[in-house]
Chain A
């Protein structure tokens, strides 16, 4: 290849590169950025069916009604409880069931729950835990309750037990597989041998070496999973309570009402939630980087 041919080839490559990056921006960035800007404009009354010019009215209504803050607090409660419980369960499985998870029947079955999407998990928990569900029938058969009403409300409850359980059931297999991979990559088995040779007990190794190493390595994934639960929609939609709503459910409800004045509020909630998540992410990643 002559020098001029090579220069031409490089220029063609650079030209193609610009197009490829443009496609990337068009498909991955524009929808999110454009959507956010549109949502922001709509919530400030700049655009939309009932636009009257710039106003802070919709944001004031959303913030003063307390609905957004309440939904955000409830979502945080659900996400923190679910991720903490799932992490604890996955740690127990990883640290005490190594052999079964690597070669026994669990090594295959543990992957199966990953084939259950949120919508189906919500439906499953509903069918198991509702007052007329499978668990209630079994308990009735055992004679522990005498009628359907005696069974406690475990779905559509204000404590969000059903929502938390559904998320825990979805998260435990994923987190266990993640922790197992970390256990292998960080050579924790060899570290345990070293710890034992130096006189450390198994519980010392687990508390002071294994758990801190696994949690530190898995921190970014745990954070992303936490955000996934924070914004979850299908599960609270199916088994959430009427009294307390998670943020995504609240935002969608604003859009599905017949009152057109609710739509700017729906956009305000969506934008506020997005900004909250971005803020949470940037603060957390900065902290993780500092400690990493």
Chain B
């Protein structure tokens, strides 16, 4: 009985987080000591869906960056992880791939910022995309190590021994085998970009306003209603992915 009650409390607390942000996103005034906002309005949501608002642009920018980072890192990670898996000193190469994860993203941003300033990519979307790749690409390389097993490499060799060209082997042998992992890697690298703040803030110089940057901006401006809406926009797509398949969120390094 006690366990059931505690389980219900835990599940409710988790759900309440989403409801709390939902409530704030339609609130307009929330004076102390009222538990609910005194006025409700759908204005912020309407601006997001119909009009041209900063949030709408932020949402689109985050989506473009997320998809771009996911495509580039998944494809390059898939190809390069094969080379690393066959390397003589495989573990040493893999250790190098772990480097960016050891550092705090914001410390990493401080250290690489000069390069982006020199190349004129600071404050540009392309700069932020490349910056986020510093995290997403090694993740993909490490992620695909589990795919390039001895069996898969042998299967590839067998296909080529039987006369199949490399492109045919890739299309008809390797890609069908790797499809589930490619999908998971795509979503996880998308989430790396979607949740990223430190690198985006430093390399983007505050000009590349993704959703996480906007949350911080609204919190600083004490605009909790917009901050709540931006937070919901960040949380909803991963929650949707979770509903489709838990693996998209949890399976990792």
Contacts and interface: CB of A to CB of B under 8 A. Distances in A.
Contacts of B10: 106, 109
B87 to A, nearest CB: 7
Given A109-B10, A124-B17, A39 B102 contact: no
Contacts of B14: 109-110, 112-113
Interface in A240-292: 247-248, 251-252, 255, 266-267, 270-271, 273-274, 277-278, 281
A267 B234 contact: no
A96 B242 contact: no
A141 B33 contact: yes
A270 B110 contact: yes
A8 interface: no
A23 B17 contact: no
A178 B33 CA distance: 40
Interface centre among B10, B93, B242, B249 (most CB of A within 10 A): B10
Given A111-B249, A111-B250, A137-B32, A35 B93 contact: no
B107 A114 contact: no
B137 interface: yes
B216 A119 contact: yes
Given A115-B249, A116-B235, A137-B34, A106 B11 contact: yes
Interface stretch (A24-32, A56-64, A190-198, A199-207): A24-32
A247 B110 CA distance: 13
Contact of A274 (B107, B133, B138, B239): B107
Interface string A107-137: 0111111111111100110111000101011
Contacts of A238: 216, 219
Contacts of B96: 24-25, 28-29
A35 B111 contact: yes
- Contact size class for B? 35 or more
Given A137-B32, A231-B104, A120 B87 contact: no
A212 interface: no
B106 interface: yes
A218 interface: no
Contact of B7 (A33, A104, A230, A266): A104
Contact of B238 (A20, A115, A224, A234): A115
Chain A contact residues: helix, strand, loop or mixed: helix
Interface in A11-55: 17, 20-21, 23-25, 27-29, 31-36, 38-39
Contacts of A247: 104, 107
A116 B17 contact: yes
B83 A27 contact: no
A91 B32 CA distance: 38
B110 A117 contact: no
Interface residues of A, number: 74
A234 B234 CA distance: 15
Given A111-B246, A115-B238, A127-B24, A28 B107 contact: no
Interface string B23-35: 0100000001111
A138 B106 contact: no
Given A28-B97, A28-B134, A36 B111 contact: yes
Nearest to B12: A109
B238 A114 contact: yes
B110 A251 contact: yes
A227 interface: yes
Interface in B111-150: 111-112, 114-115, 133-134, 137-138, 141
A177 B32 CA distance: 38
B137 A28 contact: yes
Nearest to B96: A29
Interface string B82-104: 01101100000100110111111
A248 B15 CA distance: 31
B64 interface: no
B247 to A, nearest CB: 10
A1 B161 CA distance: 8
Contacts of A237: 216
B103 A231 contact: yes
Given A97-B7, A104-B7, A120 B235 contact: yes
B134 A27 contact: yes
A117 B242 contact: no
A39 B111 contact: yes
12 contacts: A23-B80, A27-B76, A27-B137, A39-B110, A111-B242, A111-B246, A117-B197, A117-B212, A136-B33, A140-B32, A247-B104, A273-B104
